[in-house]
Amino acid sequence: MSVRLQPELRNQLIQFGIGDWNACYHCGTCTAICPLSEKGFLFPRNKIRLMQMGVKDELETSVEPWLCYYCGDCTKSCPRDANPGELMMSLRRYLTSKYDWTGLSRKFYTSGVWELGFILVFAALVVIAFLFLLPAYGFKFTTELTAQGGVQVNAFAPWEYIEIFDWSMAAVVALLLISNILRMYYKIIWKDGKTTVSIWTHIREFWLLIYNFVVQPRFSKCEDKNYWLSHWFLMSGYTIMFIVIVVYLEWFQTDEILPFWHPQRTLGYYATFGLLFGLFVAIIGRIRKKRIKFQFSHVSDWLFLIMLTLTVITGILIHIFRINGMAWATYISYIAHMAILVPMILIEVPFSKWSHLAYRPFAVYFQQLKKHAVPRKSNQ
C-alpha cells in the first residue's frame, strides 16, 4: 500500500523550525553513529523518512524524538548537511503541540505575537494585583524595617496570599501538564490496538520515570558530558526553587534575616547557582555557536532563556535589597520578579520548553512499556 506525501504536514512542520529535510537521502549514518538509537527505536533516519512521506499518525505516536538528547553527533557526521539533530528538536516542538489539547502550545511555538501577548497580559495582571488588589485588603508598602534592619516583604505581599496563588497556579499547570501526558500515553501506548501492556509492567517499570527525571542518565551516553552537567544544574536548581516557593513559602519568604549557613539560604544559593550555571552555558553557547546543538535556535529558545534569566536576576536583587534594608528597591524587584515568573511558568511548564523535562522521562518509561507489550487477544 502506497503512502502519499501530505503537503499540510510539511507546511505545519516548517512552522516549528524544521528546515530542508529533502537534503537527507537516507544513508543511515546518523542512526549508526547515534549512541542512543537501539533496535526497535531507531532514529533520526526513520523519523525523517516519516516526515518526508507525510505519515502523521505514526509520527504522533513516536517515542523516539524524546529519546534524542541532541548531542549533535548525527549532524556533524551527516554527509549531506541535512542537520538531523535539529530536525529531531523541531519534531519535539511539533509533538508538544499535538499532546496539548488546548491548542496553546501550537500558538506559542508558531506565533511570536501570541506568546508575547500572553506574557504581557499576565504580567500586567500581576502588576495590577500588587498595586491595587492587595492594597484594597489593607496591605501596603512600608519603609519601616525589621529589628534586624531587613525589609518587611510580608507587609505588602503576605506569604499566606501569595501561597494561595502559588498553589492555585501550580494546580492549573499540573492539570494541564498531566492531561497532556495522558494524551501522550494514549498516542504512544494505548492507540496501538494491536498490542497491550499489563498493569504489573506499568508498576514494575515506573521506577525508570523517577530515575530518569532525577539523574538524566541518557545524557551520559553522549560524547559531550559537560552539557549533561549544565543541564542537570539547571534542572535541579529550578526544581528546588519551585518546590521551596510553592510548598515552603512560609519558611522561604520570611522577614527575618537568617544566618548565611541556614538551609533556607543555602538552598536558595544552590538553586541560584544551578540556574545561572545552566543559563550561562546555554546563552554563551548560542552566542558563540561553536557546538552543533547551539547553532540553530528557535524564537521560543531565546524567549525562554531571557525570561528565566530575568527571573533569576530579579530574585537575586530581592534578596540583596531585602537584607540591606532597601525597601522600595525590594518592592519594585518583587513585583518585577512575579510579573516575569508567573507568565513564564504558565507558558513554559505545560506548553513549551519546561514541559520537555516531563516528556523525556515519560518517554523512557513508555519505551520500556512498548518493549514489554504483547499482542492483543482476538475476540474472534
State the Cα angle at 66 between 61 and 70, rounded to 5°: 140
Domain annotation covers residue 175: yes
Instruction: Kindly report, residue by residue over 69-126, the tens digit of the pLDDT.
Output: 888 888 888 888 888 888 899 999 999 999 999 999 999 999 889 999 999 999 999 9
Nearest to 66 by CA among 363, 366, 371, 370: 363
Tell whether 188 and 40 lie within a shared domain: no
Phi and psi at 376, nearest 5°, equal: -70, 145
Q: What is the CATH number of the domain that holds 12?
A: 1.10.1060.10
Domain annotation covers residue 243: yes
Q: In sequence order, what are the residues at sequence separation of 6 or more whose Cβ sits closer than 8 angstroms to the Cβ of residue 341?
A: 311
What's the pLDDT at 378? 60
Nearest to 234 by CA among 60, 353, 73: 353
pLDDT band at 191 (very low <50, low <70, confident <90, very high): confident
Select from 62, 82, 99 the last residue of a domain. Answer: 99
Tell whether 81 and 217 lie within a shared domain: no
Domain extent for 155: 104-371
Tell whether 296 and 324 lie within a shared domain: yes
Cα separation, 171 vs 165, whole angstroms: 10
Instruction: Kindly report, residue by residue over 304-320, the tens digit of the pLDDT.
Output: 999 999 999 999 999 99
Query: Does the pLDDT at position 21 exceed 80?
Result: no
Query: Does the pLDDT at position 180 exceed 50?
Result: yes
Would you give the DSSP letter of residue 190?
I
Tell whether 330 and 261 lie within a shared domain: yes
Residue 196 bridge partners (DSSP): 374
Select from 56, 74, 99 the last residue of a domain. Answer: 99
Domain annotation covers residue 60: yes
Domain annotation covers residue 27: yes
Domain annotation covers residue 263: yes
Domain annotation covers residue 351: yes
Tell whether 127 and 88 lie within a shared domain: no
How high is the mean pLDDT of the chain?
A: 89
Contact 168, 41 (CB under 8 A): no
Cα separation, 278 vs 237, whole angstroms: 9
What is the per-residue burial (b if ≥16 Cβ within 10 Å, else e) of 51-89? bebbbbeebbbbbbbbbbbbbbbbbeebeeebbbbbbbb
What is the per-residue burial (b if ≥16 Cβ within 10 Å, else e) of 212-239? bbeebebbeebebeebbebbbbbbbbbe
Tell whether 86 and 125 lie within a shared domain: no
| Count: domains in the chain | 2
Query: Does the pLDDT at position 3 exceed 60?
Result: no
Residue 67 bridge partners (DSSP): none
What's the pLDDT at 1? 44
Contact 293, 281 (CB under 8 A): no
Q: Which three cell numbers stand for residue 41?
A: 527505536
Nearest to 74 by CA among 60, 96, 89, 63: 89
Query: Does the pLDDT at position 298 exceed 90?
Result: no
Select from 71, 99, 127 the last residue of a domain. Answer: 99
Tell whether 229 and 337 lie within a shared domain: yes
Query: Does the pLDDT at position 282 exceed 50?
Result: yes
Tell whether 202 and 313 lie within a shared domain: yes
Q: Which three cell numbers stand for residue 11?
A: 507546511
Residue 375 bridge partners (DSSP): 195
What's the pLDDT at 127? 95
Instruction: Kindly report, residue by residue over 118-144, the tens digit of the pLDDT.
Output: 999 999 999 999 999 888 888 888 889
- Number of helical H runs and strand E runs in the chain: 19, 2
Cα separation, 51 vs 8, whole angstroms: 11
Nearest to 278 by CA among 357, 346, 352, 173: 357
Tell whether 75 and 120 lie within a shared domain: no
Task: Annotate 304-321 with DSSP letters as a single string.
Answer: HHHHHHHHHHHHHHHHHH
Tell whether 353 and 366 lie within a shared domain: yes
| N residues, the chain | 380
Tell whether 176 and 314 lie within a shared domain: yes
Tell whether 210 and 299 lie within a shared domain: yes
Nearest to 315 by CA among 203, 238, 231: 238
Query: Does the pLDDT at position 10 exceed 80?
Result: no
Domain annotation covers residue 379: no
Share of the chain above pLDDT 70, in %: 96
Query: Does the pLDDT at position 197 exceed 50?
Result: yes
Pairing assessment for the beta strands 374-375 and 195-196 based on DSSP bridges: antiparallel
Contact 359, 96 (CB under 8 A): yes
Q: Helices 159-185 and 84-99 sit at what angle, rounded to 10 degrees?
A: 110
- Region of poorest pLDDT, from 77-91, 217-231, 275-289: 217-231
Domain annotation covers residue 380: no
